[in-house]
């Protein structure tokens, strides 16, 4: 392990008052790879580096596109936030070799999707 991605927070304004969660420590590998994806409209295949434990998917700053995370081209996909990062972790020995980010529109080089592997 080469560190940990720590997720922790507090939720306010809920009927019970507030709720703390975490910290959750997600193990990080020694993989040092990130991608800037200038997505085309439709499916964009992302290669996953061997030995990685997960990734953070950061949508473009504009946030006008609809993004889906897919494993297979023919699956319906899981919606991703167009404005907030998504953390996805997997067991290093059983992680995907590729995944798909489906974008509703083509993106420009000035607003790529960032994928940071850990």
pTM equals 0.89
Q: How much of the chain is helix, strand and coil, in % rounded to 5?
A: 5, 50, 45
User: CA-to-CA distance for 88 and 75, rounded, in angstroms?
Assistant: 18
User: Domain residue spans in the chain?
Assistant: 30-117
- Which CATH class for the 30-117 domain? mainly beta
Contact assessment for residue 48 and residue 34, using Cβ atoms and an 8 Å cutoff: no
pLDDT by residue for the chain (118 residues), tens only, comes to 688 999 999 999 999 999 999 999 999 999 999 999 999 999 999 999 999 999 999 999 877 899 999 999 999 999 999 999 999 999 988 999 999 999 999 988 888 999 999 9
Length of the chain: 118
Contact assessment for residue 52 and residue 25, using Cβ atoms and an 8 Å cutoff: no
């Amino acid at each position: 392990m080469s560190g940990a991605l720590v997720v922790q927070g507090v939720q306010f304004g809920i009927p019970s008052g507030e709720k703390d969660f975490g910290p959750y420590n997600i193990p990080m590998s020694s993989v040092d790879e990130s991608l800037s994806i200038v997505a085309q409209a439709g499916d964009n295949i992302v290669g996953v580096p061997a030995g990685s434990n997960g990734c953070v998917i950061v949508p473009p700053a504009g946030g006008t596109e609809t993004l889906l995370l897919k494993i297979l081209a023919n699956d319906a996909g899981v919606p991703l936030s167009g404005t907030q990062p998504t953390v996805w972790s997997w067991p290093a020995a059983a992680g995907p070799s590729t995944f798909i980010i489906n974008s509703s529109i083509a993106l420009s080089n000035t607003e790529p999707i960032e994928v940071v592997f850990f």
